Amino acid sequence: MADEPPTEIDEPVASITPEELRQHIDSGGDVFILDVRSKRDFEAWHIDGANVEIVNHPYFQLLDGVPEDLHAKLPDDQKITVLCAKGDSSEMVAEQLSEDGYDVDHFARGMKGWARIYEYQELDVNVDATIAQYQRPSSGCLAYLIVSAGAAAVIDPLHAFTEEYRRDVRALGVELEYALDTHIHADHISGVRALAAQTDATVVLPEAAANRGVEYDHDYETVADGDTIPVGDVDIEVLSTPGHTTGMTSYKVENVLFTGDGLFIESVARPDLEDQKAARNAAQTLYDTLKERVLNLPADTTVAPAHFSNAATPDTDGTYTAELGQLKASIDVLSMNTDEFVEFTVSNVPPRPANHADIIATNLGQQSLDETTFELELGPNNCAAETLTN
């Protein structure tokens, strides 16, 4: 029988993981993304960054090939990363582009994979404890682990990353004693109940937050302004800071202030998520809180918020923190008078977080945690008023 010519085997298009893309962005490398999700999904939530160029062209418009208008937007001398929601459509589009001669890969696991990235960074602060900040780049959520003398507490943990906290506590050889929330979150599912169910940690909620109608199926403790929570050799001081919500509470460990959603390093809280009709009154409360309870703390107080946005610049240690004196000088809204402040904060709010009503109900214990919980919180950080900085 005559020899048959060898069969050509097409090489699969290369993929890049969410973790690899995040490292590339963090290193300052140029990134070009073709996002093939719908325009609506793209506008609601997409990857951003100073070194990221992104083009949106929905997948359903590419079924018959790549149109000329899209070719004109794609670089010939740079790798293109194709992204979709889950990773399937992006692979097919990347194969088309590869056949057209582009240097291309596809984003494995899509935006759902991006939402699974969670990073640990220790704060460079002079306190008698190790304080680590957890960063979720997809939504700008921040949580904190405080470790001192064999004990630990976590502030504003996320349900999706319960195992990460447990893993780190085990690695550090300490006992998780407390899981604290600063308020009833509207943008992500809290992890305090899951941690309490899987460890010996005690759930701690601000009393005013619990009064919104918490219906947990297990015990929790409440704290009020002036209380302290011992963790090893340090105390967590409780500071009532209402405005973003009626129960919004900050926690302070020596010179580190965990501000929750009250004050960020690039803006202040939005006042409308608990009661949209009472937003103006909440904005006035937030103004009074900042002026009377926060901004009069020492200028070298380290502000450690519960969120960061694309407008935020990390500190030299890689964390999203800043000294209070620096924020007073850089955030214009903090120097406004009361009327200006109220008008700004009620007029400059982004869209409400997706599924916020269900998220709030879940965090109150009024809806159950199940396999759809992760889907509820996919999306951007929408807990701050629009940024206004010098």
Residue 155 has pLDDT above 80, yes or no: yes
State pTM to two decimals.
0.91
Quickly tell me which residue has 């200006």 as its tokens: 340
Residue 7 in this model has a pLDDT that exceeds 50: no
Give CA–CA dist 165/176, Å, rounded. Answer: 9
Sequence-distant (6+) residues with CB within 8 A of 377 are 139, 160, 187, 188, 189, 355, 359
Q: What backbone torsions phi and psi does residue 54 show, to the nearest 5 degrees?
A: -135, 140
**Section 362-375 average pLDDT:** 86
In sequence order, which ranges of 55-212 are alpha helices (DSSP H)?
68-71, 88-99, 110-114, 162-172, 192-198, 207-210
Query: Average pLDDT of 5-24?
Result: 78
Within-domain flag for 381: no
pLDDT of residue 2: 41
The answer to whether residues 194 and 110 belong to one domain is: no
In 17-127, beta strands by DSSP E: 31-35, 52-56, 80-83, 104-107, 119-122
- Within a domain: 8: no
Query: Which residue in 359, 388, 361, 369 sits closest to 139, CA to CA?
Result: 359
If asked whether residues 234 and 345 sit together in one domain, one would say: yes
Residue type, 33: I
- Domain region containing 85: 15-114
User: Domain boundary at 79, 114, 149, which?
Assistant: 114
Of 66, 91, 114, the residue at which a domain comes to its end is 114
The verdict on whether 84 is a catalytic residue reads: yes
Q: How far apart are CA 78 and CA 76, in angstroms?
A: 6
Among the listed residues 274, 263, 240, 249, the one whose alpha carbon sits nearest the alpha carbon of residue 364: 274
Average pLDDT over every residue of 6-22? 78
Identify the pLDDT of residue 376.
84
Which of 31, 80, 84, 141 is labelled catalytic?
Answer: 84
Alpha-carbon gap, residue 279 to 276, rounded angstroms: 5
- What single-letter amino acid sits at 78? Q
Residue 78, domain member (yes or no): yes
pLDDT, position 387: 57
Q: What's the average model confidence in pLDDT over 195-213?
A: 96
Q: What would the pLDDT profile of 312-331 be if each residue is shown by its tens digit? A: 889 999 999 999 999 999 99
Pairing of strands 52-56, 31-35: parallel
Asked whether residue 133 is assigned to any structural domain, the reply reads yes
Total domains in the chain come to: 2
User: For position 26, what pLDDT does the model report?
Assistant: 86
Whether 305 shows a pLDDT value over 60: the answer reads yes
* Mean of the per-residue pLDDT values of the chain: 92
Q: What pLDDT shows up at residue 10?
A: 60
Cα–Cα distance measured from residue 52 to residue 32, given in angstroms and rounded to the nearest whole number: 6
Q: What is the CATH number of the domain that holds 326?
A: 3.60.15.10
- Does some domain include residue 322? yes
**Is residue 11 predicted with pLDDT exceeding 80?**
no
Domain boundary among 67, 92, 114: 114
Residues 249 and 294 both lie in one domain? yes
